[in-house]
Amino acid sequence: MAERRHFTRIFYLTAAKLIQGTRQWRTQLADVSLQGALLLRPEDWSGSDDKEYEICFVLGGSDIEIKMQVTLTHEASKKLGFYCHHIDIDSASHLKRMIELNVGEEQLLYRELEQLLQEHKEHSPPSA
């Protein structure tokens, strides 16, 4: 199977919350990119037809919380994959910096940011 990812994933194991309305699951973030995240499947997981969720996690050694509005894209026995369709500017800035520190190549990060913007433009409804 061909690799379809266009974004660098950062392996970052940390506690996370998965939220859907009034439902919440405590879990672990396995990796994150500018486009989404991979979580360990919670033991008490029960998915629903609604695929819209929020992921929250705190950057290690800080009180900085990253929040992402996500859509569940794939489920496996031990992991859940999500596509990020919205992230607030503060969370995006902190996530960008975290990826920048882990990638070590500024040009790669900027190419990924351009790709992310292009993909979001392509998936956005036309404006009136």
Residue pLDDT, tens place only, 5-29: 456 778 888 999 999 999 999 999 9
* Cα distance between residue 57 and residue 51, in whole Å: 19
Burial string for 96-111 (b: 16+ CB within 10 Å, else e) reads: bebbeeeeeeeeebee
Specify the pLDDT at position 115. Answer: 63
Average pLDDT for 71-88: 94
